[in-house]
Structure 1
């Protein structure tokens, strides 16, 4: 025979299927790793406390770490009247397992009212996370990817979904 021998159709098919199964295995490993990282971030519990009078000078955000490892650099996120998200830095560098801390965000800044939206923190692996107070959902912050690739329709109305989506993007960029 002259030239190259290309093999048979079953040999080609088995090599193609082997490559596909390897790719699927790597995809499953990466998906499980991301799920474990997200589950650690979901174990951080937050809530906003109110004073006896609703017109107090501070909004108190409570943070409790129920994860197995400490969280670092906890910051409060608040929304201004113009829709921009601000960051209020805390003095506590680390929240250990089963510890609780509170952040006091001024209710009024520059003469306008602020609304507490969530917290931003870093986990022990170095990933930065944002946790929303109202939905208790967590978003992983990334400098390379600003948008959210997994658009999930959490509510039925399109207008509310757009509002949720825009707030989620603003929290990621904060």
Structure 2
């Protein structure tokens, strides 16, 4: 009985190169899909407008698909520790539409804690959740970290973790 035939060197090289080209093809497909997702999400704009004692946070859907579950994350500054609260927009913002939500600049008038909008969270048509930072305009995929997506700087994020952030979700 003869030994096992391991094939020739050209057959091994061919198999290795075929595997490499398949891996590269899948990588390119995933990279292109991520670019398309980011391009669609980048067409959603958010900003704040101040009018007296009211801050209005607005969101404009410039993408080709509707966005859902839009909400603004507001910091309550001046209380005990760092408290973040969600305020919801419309359930559905169609392409080309603008939606807004108003928040008071202070909870109970002069001398009370301030309400400062930090970021806007939304989901694109394919279900991917995104966060638009209102201070820098940056766009981030939701959920990579539990605090940075709120639009906080790394320093504030560390401080928030130490103070054990309290998140209150409004229905």
Tell me the TM-score normalised to structure 1 length. 0.75
Which residue of 2 is the match for residue 114 of structure 1?
Answer: 115
Shift of 1:165: 7.0
SS of the aligned residue for 1:30 comes to helix
Tell me if the contact between 1:42 and 1:137 (Cα under 8 Å) persists in the aligned partners.
Answer: no
Residue 70 (structure 2) aligns with: 74
Deviations 1:12-68 (CA, angstroms, capped at 9, x unpaired): 1221111011101101101110111111111011111122x4xx1x21111111111
The within-5 A match list for 1:25-174 is 25-51=25-51, 53=52, 56=53, 58-81=54-77, 82-90=81-89, 92-109=90-107, 111-142=112-143, 145-146=144-145, 162-163=154-155
Q: Which runs of 4+ in 1 moved over 3 A?
A: 161-167
Task: State the distance in 1 between where 2:118 and 2:84 align.
Answer: 8
CA distance in structure 2 between the aligned counterparts of 1:35 and 1:165, rounded to whole angstroms = 28
Give the structure 1 partner of residue 2 of structure 2.
Answer: 2
What is the CA–CA distance in structure 1 between the aligned matches of 2:8 and 2:83, rounded to whole Å?
62
- Which structure 2 residues correspond to residues 3-22 of structure 1 after superposition, within 5 A? 3-22=3-22
Q: What is the RMSD computed on CA atoms of the aligned residues?
A: 2.8
Q: Contact between 1:71 and 1:124, CA under 8 Å: does it hold in 2?
A: yes
Question: How many angstroms apart in 2 are the aligned matches of 1:96 and 1:32?
Answer: 25
Unaligned runs of 5+ in 2: 147-152
2:150 aligns with none
| Structure 1 gap segments, 5+ residues each | 148-160
**1:59–1:89 distance in 2 versus 1, CA, 3 Å:** same
Write 1 or 2 for the structure with the bigger share of strand. Answer: 2
How many pairs are equivalent?
152
